[in-house]
Structure 1
């Protein structure tokens, strides 16, 4: 299998509808704690984010890749929302997590289950999870849909108690 076909297979698997076996697994409450992360092998801050998610009880599968542009495009992440890694949160409903999304925003996403494609912490804000975490750091997490004509909306305000 070529590298391109392998990448496509990984992405399709991450974004596909759950199979009957996976639905049973999701019903057991474990699949909603599974995250598939696509990152570059040399990015230390992404690895810190992965470790923080594991420490919080998530099961994380890491896919190191030299180029994430195809992943971001297939995940529906607009250029202005891009960050250094892209992840897919499993469960009954799959969500894209772009960048250094804080744990509180992931928990909010799971509890509210909004009809969106995912959430993004654009760029690499200092103080975000993986970037010298500081609970008082202020930055915005945006919600986005698969429809690029729909403007992203504020989903969570880190460091502002919202």
Structure 2
């Protein structure tokens, strides 16, 4: 193998390693859009951080433009919107579901937990009560979904 070929091989392997490291970093970097007055959003962000996510928080007065940009219809919305690795994460989605989304890379816009189910991450009840809820895979801008995970 010539010196030129070895250099090309080393550069190619280095670039691949750096690209892999960047992809791994992106898989834990999430931007969370929330309103300034919502407390449960802070609880959800705390869950994300505890699970190893690096959450950049952006406070906005109106989440509708963010949701519209990412294809989340009102009926599937909640009180905050995350964006990670090209996916939207709407509402009180458990961090494990976010990890699965990024790992599996389904053909979808993202995932959502509509509303604010009691007992979901950030919506814990003082008495420990939990509602059953689903994380939905948001398939398209028409609002079509399928169940991604069951909780409670």
TMscore range, shorter length: 0.7 to 0.9
| Pairwise CA distance, 1:26 | 5.8
Structure 1, residues 92-131: CA drift from partner, whole Å, max 9, x if none? xx11000000122112212321111100000000000000
TM-score (ref. length: structure 2): 0.80
Which structure would you say has the larger Rg? 2
| Pairwise CA distance, 1:78 | 1.1
Matched residue, 2:106: 114
Alignment pair present for 1:47 and 2:42 = yes
| Pairwise CA distance, 1:25 | 6.4
In the TM superposition, structure 1's runs of 4+ consecutive aligned residues that sit over 3 Å from their partners are 23-26, 133-137
TM-score (ref. length: structure 1): 0.75
Matched residue, 1:61: 56
| Pairwise CA distance, 1:71 | 0.5
Q: Is the 8 A contact 1:99 1:121 kept in 2?
A: yes
Alignment pair present for 1:152 and 2:145 = yes
Q: Equivalent residue of 2:137, what SS?
A: strand
Structure 1 pair 25–38 and aligned structure 2 pair: CA distance change class (3 A):
farther
Matched residue, 2:121: 129
Q: Structure 2: where are the runs of 5+ without partners?
A: 1-15
Alignment pair present for 1:71 and 2:63 = no
Q: Structure 1: where are the runs of 5+ without partners?
A: 1-22
Structure 1 pair 31–24 and aligned structure 2 pair: CA distance change class (3 A):
farther
Distance in 2, Cα, partners of 1:102 & 1:79: 20
The range that moved more, 139-148 or 56-65, is: 139-148
How many residues end up aligned between the 2 structures? 133
Distance in 2, Cα, partners of 1:67 & 1:82: 13
